[in-house]
Amino acid sequence: MAKYANVIIDISHEKLDKTFQYKVPGELQGNLTIGMQVEIPFGNGNRRSTGYIVELTDTPAYEVSRLKEITGVVKDSIPIESQLIALAGWMRKNYGATMNQALRTVLPIKQKTAVKKQRLVRLAIGQKKAAEWLASFEKKHNTARARLLSSLIEQSPLPYEVVTRRLHMTASVIRAMEGLGILTVEEKRTYRNPLGEMEQGGTRPVLNEGQKRIVEQVWQDFSKEQYHTYLLRGVTGSGKTAVYIEIIEKITGAGRQAIVLIPEIALTYQTVLRFYQRFGDRVSILNSKMSLGERYDQFERAKNGELDVMIGPRSALFTPFSNLGIIIIDEEHETSYKSETMPRYHARETAVERARMAGASVILGSATPSIESFYHARSGEYKLLELEKRIEEKPLPECYTVDLREELRRGNRSILSEKLQELMEQRLKNHQQIMLFINRRGLAGFVSCRACGHVMKCPHCDVSLSQHAGGSMVCHYCGYTQEMVTSCPECGSKYIGGFKAGTQKIEEVVKKRFPGTRVLRMDFDTTRRKDGYEKILSTFANQEADILIGTQMIVKGHDFPNVTLVGVLAADLSLHVSDFHGPERTFQLITQAAGRAGRGKFPGEVVIQTYSPEHYAIKLAAKQDYYKFYETETAYRNLMHYPPCGHMMVMMTASADEMTAFLSMELLAKKIQQAQDKGRLPGLYMIGPADAAVAKIKDIYRRVLYFKHQEYGTLVHMKDVLEQFINSHREFRNVAVQFDFDPMNGF
């Protein structure tokens, strides 16, 4: 029963920080929630105004006698802003952040430069009158006026810029003719349309039985106002996107709107075109290359009812559609759906919450659903839908696993195994294309034995130890440290070290081994320039290159029918990342990479190179056995209490002073340890403190402390208590504290 409410009056970027505190009158206490629109007296004259509640509290921030009272609740309409603010409140609570950070995430940022006005010059008189004027200008050798008028007779209106730049008219000529009443200059606010030049048309596929069944089920539930979260597991190329488009068409036909989240990397021209061909100008996109102004425009168009469908990465989730009907998250297993800035929200969970608030359905789609989502599908929280077959029953590719230890024993030290070289040679001869994939995700600083494949692991956390400068190996969860080994504890081999191979190195090796082949490289270097990414993709799609070498960028959703061989050069790079997601990432990457092969006329083959051929993630990925992988992986996580079989929270302290960062964390850990010793925190595991995976960024030192508990809610509560403690102790004056729940990329 909060007694005070913080209210924002005007939702615009500049004023978001500016909240005003009001007293909650007795009759409203207990009836107010975050996001509600309320009536309030404002300013010196106590002008009647409205505002949005962003926080409710029991502790007044000012002298109570000076606070004014909320006079009422606005009832008749619930603006979309109310819903988004309520969502911000939910995010703040569940992910840890200030309300201001949460508001900035969900509300579009208004930019002063955002307004782009189009000026038009329009003929203001009839054709007959115009012809008379024209004759008179020509007679007086008023060539400029004559030229402008004859252009306008031909076409009206004309954009102002065309008149000035193309026809070379000065402003004074235009003004003079406006003064004569011949033309008018009008201003119209326009919103930038990022899809301006796309072509409409295209064919509509006839859905197969499996696709139809799924469309029907979602649509029937929707029609009965049963809004569920569905998990659509469909192998690569099974026609998921076609299903999304069909469902969206039905839902927008019913006057509701749709948000489609697609990882930025998969948001290609091809994909967007498919949506554009069905929805035309009623669809728009967001992406990170757009300016804030452009992004704001797209949100305004959505709010004004000009759009039915918004496609974009994570942030498109906050599109202010007032009658949202469905949210679709494609490639739902992607780590980019987790925010890396405060609030560190997960788009999947946040989408489910937004849909709950709006009365909308959610579809999560993937060929390799995240363990979390499949877990929810198993428990019945999500409804499972499946597409088992590729379109036209194209077979999934044949997978070969190559043991790199074996290669070494046979004296092959190349990055390319014999099997891979042999198949590459074949493909080049047959003019088919090849993709070589190297995973460079995260910090692949693990240490392993090249002879037997043994990987150095933390004895407490079962994650790979990371190589540190100064000759030690460290666990990023608990801080366990060990001297760098010089020989393998398993087999005694001295051939031990980190694994290093970049795209550039591979390019060299490939060019040397297959002289004269046309090789393309896609990585952060070659795609930094605008359009670099699309250009490489289209060159490869046009078969102007034989081999595409790339990082995880190349495995996402591209359709190259002539690719019949995919090489995964070092599956171990994702297997031994220093957190518990290693096996899951590896299974996903191999499956996605394999999904690139054999999408056209010819069947595909995949070569997986690894030092750990017996690892379940690799074995089961080669067999494309998702179910078995899920069972094995959840058994392991259950044992270790890793999400989703339990929950994790990581707290980070950061300070410019190394000692301060260190001591502040020690203090917190000690406090929690004391509470645990008294039996106060049952079921809680504390791990650490340790240096963050990135222990220092821009001279700011970072320490982390991990917690595990069965209940998410308990961890949220713990965060609240810790925040309070931190805010009320001077020791934390110069310390920034951040929280992350069920971390994916870590600190």
Interaction between residue 39 and ligand ADP (CB under 6 A): no
> Of the candidates 233, 240, 333, 709, which one interacts with ligand ADP according to CB under 6 A?
240
Within 10 angstroms of residue 445's Cβ, the number of other Cβ atoms is 20
Residue 452 binds which of Zn ion, ligand ADP, none (CB < 5-8 A, kind-dependent): Zn ion
CB contact at 8 A, 256 and 323: yes
Interaction between residue 105 and ligand ADP (CB under 6 A): no
Cα 508 to Cα 201, 423, 437, 547: the distances in Å are 43, 19, 15, 13
Interaction between residue 242 and ligand ADP (CB under 6 A): yes
Residue 476 binds which of Zn ion, ligand ADP, none (CB < 5-8 A, kind-dependent): none
Interaction between residue 369 and ligand ADP (CB under 6 A): no
CB contact at 8 A, 242 and 205: yes
Cα 330 to Cα 188, 222, 274, 333, 439: the distances in Å are 37, 19, 14, 8, 21
Give residue for tokens 């509701």: 256
Backbone angles phi, psi at 356, to 5 degrees: -60, -45
Q: How far is the CB of 237 from ligand ADP (least distance, A)?
A: 5
- Rank residues 278 and 346 by Cβ distance to ligand ADP and give the closer one: 278
Residue 491 binds which of Zn ion, ligand ADP, none (CB < 5-8 A, kind-dependent): Zn ion
- Rank residues 391 and 452 by Cβ distance to Zn ion and give the closer one: 452
> Of the candidates 110, 348, 454, 585, which one interacts with Zn ion according to CB under 5 A?
454
> Of the candidates 194, 234, 583, 644, which one interacts with ligand ADP according to CB under 6 A?
234
- Rank residues 279 and 480 by Cβ distance to Zn ion and give the closer one: 480
- Rank residues 283 and 510 by Cβ distance to ligand ADP and give the closer one: 283
Residue 592 binds which of Zn ion, ligand ADP, none (CB < 5-8 A, kind-dependent): none
> Of the candidates 158, 302, 342, 475, which one interacts with Zn ion according to CB under 5 A?
475
> How far is 744 from 497, CA to CA, in rounded Å?
26
Interaction between residue 408 and Zn ion (CB under 5 A): no
Tokens of 250: 């039905």
SS3 readout for 484-515: CCCCCCCCCCCCEEECCCCHHHHHHHHHHHCC
Q: How far is the CB of 240 from ligand ADP (least distance, A)?
A: 3
Interaction between residue 236 and ligand ADP (CB under 6 A): yes
CB contact at 8 A, 419 and 608: no
Within 10 angstroms of residue 431's Cβ, the number of other Cβ atoms is 9
Residues 477-516 that bind Zn ion (CB under 5 A): 477-478, 480, 488, 490-491, 493
> How far is 462 from 441, CA to CA, in rounded Å?
19
| Alpha carbon 605 to chain centroid, angstroms | 30
The secondary element (H helix, E strand) that includes residue 246 is helix 240-253
Radius of gyration of the chain (CA): 30
Residue 647 binds which of Zn ion, ligand ADP, none (CB < 5-8 A, kind-dependent): none
Secondary structure (3-state) at 318: helix
Count the site residues for ligand ADP by CB under 6 A. 15
Within 10 angstroms of residue 522's Cβ, the number of other Cβ atoms is 21
> Of the candidates 6, 238, 526, 551, which one interacts with ligand ADP according to CB under 6 A?
238
Q: Which of 312, 304, 305, 549 is nearest to 424 (CA)?
A: 549
CB contact at 8 A, 702 and 696: yes
Residue 661 binds which of ligand ADP, Zn ion, none (CB < 5-8 A, kind-dependent): none
Q: Which of 576, 554, 446, 437 is nearest to 500 (CA)?
A: 446
Pattern 180-209, ligand ADP, x by CB under 6 A: -------------------------xxxx-
Residue 350's contacts (CB-CB under 8 Å, 6 or more residues apart) are 87, 90, 91, 317
> Of the candidates 82, 83, 105, 241, which one interacts with ligand ADP according to CB under 6 A?
241
Amino acid at 9: I
Pattern 248-267, ligand ADP, x by CB under 6 A: --------------------
- Rank residues 106 and 266 by Cβ distance to ligand ADP and give the closer one: 266
Interaction between residue 216 and ligand ADP (CB under 6 A): no
Secondary structure (3-state) at 655: strand
Q: How far is the CB of 529 from ligand ADP (least distance, A)?
A: 27
Tell me 24's DSSP state.
P
Residue 236 binds which of Zn ion, ligand ADP, none (CB < 5-8 A, kind-dependent): ligand ADP
- Rank residues 50 and 336 by Cβ distance to ligand ADP and give the closer one: 336
- Rank residues 88 and 242 by Cβ distance to ligand ADP and give the closer one: 242
Interaction between residue 237 and ligand ADP (CB under 6 A): yes
Residue spans of alpha helices (H) in 39-116: 80-95, 99-106
Q: What is the DSSP string of 376-396?
A: HHHTTSSEEEEE-S-GGGPPP
Interaction between residue 461 and Zn ion (CB under 5 A): yes
Tell me 443's DSSP state.
-
Residue 477 binds which of ligand ADP, Zn ion, none (CB < 5-8 A, kind-dependent): Zn ion
> Of the candidates 281, 462, 559, 723, which one interacts with ligand ADP according to CB under 6 A?
559
Residues 383-442 that bind ligand ADP (CB under 6 A): 391
Where does this chain bind ligand ADP (CB under 6 A)?
Answer: 205-208, 211, 234, 236-242, 391, 559
Where does this chain bind Zn ion (CB under 5 A)?
Answer: 449, 451-452, 454, 458, 460-461, 475, 477-478, 480, 488, 490-491, 493
